[in-house]
Structure 1
């Protein structure tokens, strides 16, 4: 220690005396009781003349300020009065800040993240004094992000599940009475490929709407006024009118699309055109030509967009109906070609045309139609008429497999076509059964009357199971979802209305 260290108190001792002086009431430095060796502490002198440092060149250090910028200081609480300024030093343009508060470090992005969290979760995090490692909504949804509209959260697994599609209660228009396409059906369709499309064709009054309602969503014992496809009322039957106009659409919860159509070659539609003096499109000159072309357009459309087409007739048989089917097959639009990338390949499927399954439904069949001999003749006639058709009219539906005729072997029908018989719907009522003769014993009064065929309820159930179990081939060269089918069908309908083959056929009719 130098001599100056013995004659003058050290730095520590001077600071201690300075603090003691402040505690005693800031008395005068020359008052009694003061140590004669006491020298007031000058912080600037200590900075300039450190006692413990050797005498020599003193290096000036850059000051470090641990404070907020002036902009942030103005927003926060008022800062205390700063200490006396140090000795003049080289000017510094910008202070060096080594630390930032947590609020400053977050910035605008951090503020957005906090605001996007639920209030309860933010309060919980602030209470615990912890900083979340990821947004709270991600913890709740387990990394799934925001939940899509129309979805529900499963409390067990924490995953979003899509709501079931809305159940249809009645049919809607796919094509209106002016033969214009309607877009309302797209709301009921999903993005899935397991779909079956069933259409119907038939003359007026054969029961098309009733059959489609029973195959889709209704039961025979229900009131016909509640059917999804409206049937003919008694008033319409009396004046010989038709109930369905255009094409009606209905889809079940099993994802089966049913298309009910207006009657083909309908006399009531022709009568309406003539009596109401409706203006025909410019390409048609005569009303009956326009009615026939409407029927061909609908049939050609169904042959292109349906997996199964049911042809309903109420008596056997009308040869003009089969000629109409063959004409519709002839003018059917071709299947759209595959993409250009695959068109150059020499695959076996290239250039193939699509044809649906066709089912001949004999509605309102009588007791003699269920006779095995008559049934065999009916199969033979249909096979002879349709032998040159590309429609799949045989091999996919069988009445013998339904156990309707338990005594007949499978080989009884050599050429079994897709033919199904349905009796009158009210044939099961008590009024339709034969009454017991007077004098008959109690045994015969308890037995049901002989009808010659199973009940209507059992037959319609067997028909439904057979149609729903049919194969579902691809309608085009690509697999279609329900929504893709809708857009595909809209394109086909537009092509049918502008078909050159149909236009040439209408000129031949004129």
Structure 2
């Protein structure tokens, strides 16, 4: 054995037999082991399991023929004795020999004492890693010390792990899903993710009913904010004065709770028709008259929402327009067929019409008056809407209730025999208008501080209750497979292309003209 503590290849068996033979031989003539200058102190610094002799003058000499204990010699199996292992030196203050490497048979057993300082990771540690033995340090420490090449391939990069933990990017305003030329836009793809827990809410309604304002309040804004900062732009005062429309096409917005909101241009809009007539805008070749083109645009958007949305909100600002219900039934008739659902998902979707998909319909009575909140008038409204939608397959009842919101505390669930998905929202009041209803000219300061009687809860309170009920609706399966957000985007793009090329819509357009 050399002074560095490494055994030479092939010398394992010969070294041990030679030392045992020397132990049995008597001392040679003329050899004085205890003479002056030759006193040897048996000192064991134990460098890598070897024993060394040290003379009285401090100089180290090779180990002599007399050994009191058999040394522990560690070596590789014969098949791996190509070159010696270079390991880092260990402190010489230890009293016992240290096992630096283990054979393959003992690879799964703990071999290093807990109180022994481990050597720094070097070529020896990398060799152990390559031999398949479990490292003596945690894997993440080895990676941090530059041993990523020898670490397990299944470990995750910390940068990638931190990226996955980041919250999704928050949208500041809505973007176009379908532009004013009725072309599909791909800009919404960067905000979508590969996860299936999502809710899609769309809205349709006549011009000036407050669709964009309602969608902004349901998605990201509050009534106290400035309407110019809403995610869906509402009508400005200038547009209201000239009778124009603010929204065009379909606008897209997704919240951090993964709720997708789709705001559409007004259906059967007179301002869009006026723009087509006065600006001499060229119509597509399949349409002959401007009013036919406007009606077909509205039917295309309604049929599209009936196919790709979980909830469709129908906004109206007065009760009620018979033509609106006729339009909804026409869009339901022209809706593209849904891919057949599997047997497992058919029961969970709650559809009683086989594999055809139909969304939840919520009728929102916006800008409601005080008389509309009268229980007697409320009951008449529910009965009228139930008769108008009696032959529809749309889910217009059973999923939303104003009685559950404690808006009418004196009414029970049995008061409304046929309760449809109807919700009332009053006029969005301003601070100045609300102050005028607090008291008359001769009212005392005490009564002037109290809010005036409205006959219904405040707009903010009702908007919050509406939002909680809409977001709590069941999320039925839209197609035969469970869609992620990105899959829904591609599915919606195919549905929109199919709606524009639908033979049923083309035939209906020919009948109108």
User: Does TM, scored on the shorter chain, surpass 0.5?
Assistant: yes
Alpha carbons 1:125, 1:132 under 8 Å: kept: no
Helix, strand or coil for the counterpart of 2:429?
helix
C-alpha contact 2:434 2:452 (8 A) present in aligned 1: no
Alpha-carbon distance in 1 for matches of 2:426, 2:263: 21
Q: For the residues of structure 1 that align with 2:155 and 2:331, how far apart are their CA atoms?
A: 52
C-alpha displacement of 1:438: 4.6
2:493 maps to 1:490:
yes
Aligned residue number for residue 180 of structure 1: 183
CA distance in 1 between partners of 2:353 and 2:462 (Å): 40
Matched, 1:147 2:133: no
Gap change, CA 1:374 and 1:287, over 3 Å in 2: same
Residue 361 of structure 1 contacts residue 422 of structure 1 at CA under 8 Å; is this kept in 2? yes
Does residue 417 of the first structure (1) align with residue 420 of the second (2)?
A: yes
Counterpart for residue 192 of structure 1: 195
Q: Shift in Å at residue 147 of structure 1?
A: 3.2
Q: Between Structure 1 and Structure 2, which shows a larger proportion of helix residues?
A: 1
Q: Contact between 1:423 and 1:456, CA under 8 Å: does it hold in 2?
A: yes
Q: Which residue of structure 2 lines up, in the alignment, with residue 274 of structure 1?
A: 277
1:467 & 1:350 partners in 2: Cα distance? 23
Deviation of 1:436 (Å): 2.0
Q: Per-residue deviation at 1:142? A: 5.9
Give secondary structure in 1 for the equivalent of 2:129: coil
The answer to whether structure 1 residue 363 and structure 2 residue 363 are counterparts is: no
* Counterpart position of 2:311: 308
TM-score, scaled relative to structure 1: 0.70
Long gaps (5+) in structure 2: 1-79, 86-119, 131-142, 346-350
> What is the aligned partner in structure 1 of residue 32 from structure 2?
none
CA contact (8 A) 1:395 1:416 kept: yes
Correspondence list, 1:318-397, <5 A: 318-337=321-340, 351-397=354-400
Matched, 1:167 2:167: no
List per-residue Cα deviations over 1:417-436 (Å, max 9, x = no partner): 00000011116655464242
- Whether the 8 Å contact between 2:250 and 2:265 is mirrored in structure 1 is yes
| Closer/same/farther in 2, CA of residues 139 and 376 from structure 1, 3 Å limit | farther
Structure 1 residue aligned with 2:402: 399
| 1:470, distance to aligned residue in structure 2 (A) | 0.5
Q: CA deviation at 1:437?
A: 3.2
Q: Is the 8 A contact 1:428 1:455 kept in 2?
A: no
Deviations 1:55-109 (CA, angstroms, capped at 9, x unpaired): xxxxxxxxxxxxxxxxxxxxxxxxxxxxxxxxxxxxxxxxxxx997799xxxxxx
Q: Which residue of 2 aligns with 1:468?
A: 471
CA contact (8 A) 2:172 2:231 kept: yes
Q: Any idea what the Cα deviations from partners look like across 1:177-231, whole Å, max 9, x if unmatched?
A: 1111111111111111111000000000100000000000001101111111011
Q: Which residue of 2 aligns with 1:455?
A: 458
* 2: CA distance, partners of 1:324 / 1:428: 38
* Deviation for aligned residue 1:408: 1.1
Task: Tell me whether 1:240 sits opposite 2:243 in the alignment.
Answer: yes
Question: 1:232 touches 1:243 (CA, 8 Å); kept in 2?
Answer: yes
Other structure's SS at 2:379 match: helix
Match of 1:14 in 2: none
When residues 274 and 438 of structure 1 are mapped into structure 2, their CA distance, relative to the original with a 3 A threshold, is closer
| 2:411 alignment partner in structure 1 | 408
1:296 Cα offset (Å): 0.2
d(CA) in 1 for partners of 2:438, 2:352: 61
Separation in 2, partners of 1:349, 1:311: 23
Q: Cα gap change, 1:498/1:141 in structure 2, threshold over 3 Å: closer, same or farther?
A: farther
The question of whether the paired residues in 2 share the 8 Å contact of 1:197 and 1:308 is answered with yes
1:459 and 1:349 map into 2 onto residues whose CA distance is 32
Between the aligned partners of 2:482 and 2:252, the Cα distance in structure 1 is 21
> Residue 427 of structure 1 contacts residue 433 of structure 1 at CA under 8 Å; is this kept in 2?
no
TM-score w.r.t. structure 2 length? 0.69
Rounded Cα–Cα distance in structure 1 between residues aligned with 2:354 and 2:413: 36
Q: Tell me if structure 2 keeps the 8 A contact 1:151–1:163.
A: no
2:5 corresponds to: none
* 1:353 to 1:142, Cα distance in 2 relative to 1, 3 A: same
Higher alpha-carbon Rg = 1
Q: In 2, Cα distance between the equivalents of 1:349 and 1:400?
A: 26
Contact 1:358 1:393 in 2 (8 A): yes
**Distance in 1 of aligned mates of 2:354 and 2:447:** 64
What SS does the aligned partner of 1:164 have?
coil
Q: Which 5+ residue runs of structure 1 have no aligned equivalent?
A: 1-97, 104-123, 154-159, 343-347
- Cα distance, 1:351–1:449 mapped onto 2, change above 3 Å: closer
Q: Partner residue of 2:288?
A: 285
For 1:264, the equivalent position in structure 2 comes to 267
